Chain A
Amino acid sequence: AQSVTQPDIHITVSEGASLELRCNYSYGATPYLFWYVQSPGQGLQLLLKYFSGDTLVQGIKGFEAEFKRSQSSFNLRKPSVHWSDAAEYFCAVGAVTGGGNKLTFGTGTQLKVEL
């Protein structure tokens, strides 16, 4: 069965500082990996995704993530955090089979940004 681990429940960074959110997955084949962001009272919005090819993927809002097969990781990074990045971030793994995509989400990392 597929699973996702986000080891950090809460992270606090200062505005302008760099950010890295950790994600480890378990999956029997080449995974499809995603990062979503959820602002308070909102649904989840896709930040970026990895299917194949270049292991460094770029997303919206200046985020990027790197797929490392040897470490079963897909960590999310941003070089300089803005106060508006404060939100909850979810890593997800899934398999696109037959067109549909059943995702398994991690438990999320709550990001707080100090001004």
Chain B
Amino acid sequence: DAGVIQSPRHEVTEMGQEVTLRCKPISGHDYLFWYRQTMMRGLELLIYFNNNVPIDDSGMPEDRFSAKMPNASFSTLKIQPSEPRDSAVYFCASSLAGATNTGELFFGEGSRLTVL
């Protein structure tokens, strides 16, 4: 079975440019999470969705960040305009709700973003 798929794996861009990160969750999972990982702050939850609806976006750092989930198999995280302090590894994770929910998050391999 395919796991969580993220693209691109690596992105290098210049300050001020728009960045779009993509995620395909595991088929059948109804929760999707975006995390950011930096040396200084560790893993931070940015936003999560349930059945394509944003539930909690309190971790989104500022208005330059936006996330969408147009359908159950696709989500994007967009940064516009990007700044050097946005450099980090961005992880997408999905999980399955219901009676058998074990709470386990399944992570993608991450998108490493470098903003020059």
Interfacial residues, chain A to chain B (CB-CB below 8 A): 32, 34, 36, 41-46, 49, 51, 90, 94, 96, 98-108
Q: Label chain A's interface by main secondary structure.
A: strand
Work out how many contacts link A and B, with CB atoms closer than 8 A.
63
Whether the Cβ atoms of A102 and B97 lie closer than 8 Å is no
Whether the Cβ atoms of B55 and A101 lie closer than 8 Å is no
Give which listed residue, B55, B56, B97, B102, contacts A49 with CB less than 8 A.
B102
Which stretch of B43-51, B63-71, B80-88 is in the interface? Answer: B43-51
Interfacial residues, chain B to chain A (CB-CB below 8 A): 4, 30-31, 33, 42-43, 45, 48, 50, 55-56, 91, 93, 95, 97-98, 101-105, 107-110
Whether the Cβ atoms of B109 and A102 lie closer than 8 Å is no
Knowing A45-B107, A49-B103, the reply to whether A100 touches B43 (Cβ < 8 A) is: no
Query: Taking the nearest CB of chain B, how far is it from the CB of A99, in angstroms?
Result: 3
Knowing A44-B91, A98-B97, A99-B97, the reply to whether A51 touches B103 (Cβ < 8 A) is: yes
Bound CA span A91–B4, Å: 21
Whether the Cβ atoms of B109 and A96 lie closer than 8 Å is no
